[in-house]
């Protein structure tokens, strides 16, 4: 049973977790990243419903898009997710420790030489995108007797990883012969977030034709944005990633997903400057009036990119201070960011208070716009100096037990 901590035992300045019984952020934390696992689960359920009858997997690569692969995988598994995708074997190890042995884990980054034993040890499947990889995997399986299966990745227009359609056609006789060990055939959309991009239809046609030759093998094409292109893109398994974490998979329309992360950073100093004074490296921002500046303990080393800086001609990003948006003043540096708080009541904020960098209306996608990038990069760049707090989703629980065996059928 979770028990709320005794307030008298908490050091002054400690940041409490939003839920009783979960670890509190230490008073020494310069910033706090809160991950709402229940929101991730809600997003997965929405995607699952949108893709019915296709299975909805979970892409948890890059440490769960910066949100914590083990915590995210565990929460999704508890919600019913049975298939996970990662990029590397190391990521697969972390996810395997968090999910039941019955869950399938696919490694997207390809099969490296002499790594078969590592796949077998944790029971995960390589996504094979090259005939040489396939030959090496076959040698390992024959020598070891391993029969855990693998996926085949076919390139239909991304020109990144994957066999050509012609190469994939060459292994169709293997499919027809049976006992082929291939558990999934997949491709990846290059422009799914652009609803009317003709590349989507071309890739769909190419994949449908080749996947139809892989008789009896489940097929997967749709990423987060691909799910919203329609049922014809969804096949047997969909592979949402960014949408799970609150990034808008439909940038030409309103975001259908719930926000997942909140990011706060601590004010380490408040200072007054005179009209005409400059702030930050290069003196690119000049005070046009007597100004109060809050110095916040977050910078580009923490994933708060320098591109969101402001200068005398360009307004940069904003943060929320005491419930109100305030603009960044000058260049963001490695560890610190200056914020103009002149318009706040003087008693509204003081040293040690937290400001909101993501949350309270500031979305990951908005911040990505100021950074000149995409929400994926924002989330995966969040620094390790932030204390992390998890809300909901069995955040501190043990890996779920495998489902109970089916009862034996009664004799007749």
Measure Cα distances from 176 to 125, 154, 179, 216, 217 in Å.
21, 18, 9, 9, 11
What backbone torsions phi and psi does residue 158 show, to the nearest 5 degrees?
-75, -35
Q: Is 376 a catalytic residue?
A: no
Beta bridge partners of residue 320, listed in sequence order:
325, 356
Numbers of helices and strands, H then E, in the chain: 12, 19
Q: Catalytic pick from 8, 46, 49, 61?
A: 61
Residue 289 neighbours by CB distance under 10 Å:
10
Q: Is 281 a catalytic residue?
A: yes
Name the DSSP letter for residue 18. S
CB 85 within 8 A of CB 97: no
Name the DSSP letter for residue 46. H
Per residue, the 3-state secondary structure of 87-146, as one string, reads CCHHHHHHHHCCCCCCCEEEECCCCCCCCHHHHHHHCCEEEECCHHHHHHHHHHHHHHCC
Q: Is 82 exposed, middle or buried (0-12, 13-18, 19+ CB in 10 A)?
A: middle
Token couple for 80: 């019913």
Nearest to 257 by CA among 65, 21, 2: 65
Nearest to 120 by CA among 99, 143, 100: 143
Q: Would you state the torsion angle of the CA atoms of residues 334, 298, 32, 354, taken in this order, to the nearest 10 degrees?
A: 160
Q: Identify the three-state secondary structure at position 364.
A: helix
Residues involved in catalysis: 61, 281
């Amino acid at each position: 049973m979770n028990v709320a901590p005794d307030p008298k035992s908490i050091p002054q300045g400690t940041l409490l977790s939003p839920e009783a019984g979960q670890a509190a952020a230490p008073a020494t934390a310069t910033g706090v990243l809160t991950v709402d696992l229940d929101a991730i689960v809600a997003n997965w359920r929405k995607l699952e419903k949108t893709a019915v009858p296709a299975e909805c997997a979970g892409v948890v690569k890059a440490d769960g898009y910066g949100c914590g692969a083990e915590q995210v995988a565990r929460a999704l598994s508890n919600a019913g997710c049975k298939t996970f995708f990662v990029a590397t074997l190391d990521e697969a190890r972390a996810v395997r420790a968090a999910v039941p042995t019955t869950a399938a884990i696919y490694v997207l980054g390809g099969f490296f030489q002499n790594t078969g034993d590592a796949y077998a040890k944790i029971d995960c499947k390589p996504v094979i995108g090259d005939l040489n990889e396939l030959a090496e995997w076959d040698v390992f399986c024959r020598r070891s007797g391993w029969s855990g299966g693998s996926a085949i990745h076919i390139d239909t227009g991304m020109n990144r990883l994957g066999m050509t359609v012609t190469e994939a056609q060459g292994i169709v006789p293997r499919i027809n012969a049976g006992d082929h060990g291939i558990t999934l055939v997949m491709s990846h959309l290059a422009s799914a977030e652009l609803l009317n991009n003709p590349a989507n239809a071309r890739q769909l046609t190419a994949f449908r034709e080749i996947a139809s030759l892989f008789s009896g093998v489940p097929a997967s094409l749709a990423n987060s944005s691909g799910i919203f292109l329609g049922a014809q893109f969804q096949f047997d398994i969909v592979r949402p990633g960014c949408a799970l974490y609150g990034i808008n998979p439909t940038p030409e329309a309103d975001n259908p997903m719930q926000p997942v992360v909140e990011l706060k950073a601590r004010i380490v100093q408040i200072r007054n400057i005179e009209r005409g004074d400059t702030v930050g490296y290069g003196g690119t921002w000049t005070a046009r009036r007597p100004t109060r500046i809050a110095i916040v303990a977050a910078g580009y080393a923490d994933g708060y990119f320098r591109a969101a800086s402001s200068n005398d001609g360009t307004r940069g990003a904003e943060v929320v201070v005491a419930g109100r948006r305030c603009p960044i003043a000058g260049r963001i540096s490695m560890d610190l960011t200056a914020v103009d708080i002149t318009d706040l009541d003087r008693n509204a904020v003081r040293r040690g208070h937290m400001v909101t960098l993501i949350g309270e209306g500031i979305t990951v996608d908005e911040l990505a716009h100021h950074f000149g990038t995409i929400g994926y990069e924002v989330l995966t760049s969040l620094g390790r100096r932030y204390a992390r707090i998890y809300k909901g989703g069995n955040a501190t629980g043990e890996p779920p037990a495998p489902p109970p065996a089916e009862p034996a059928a009664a004799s007749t």
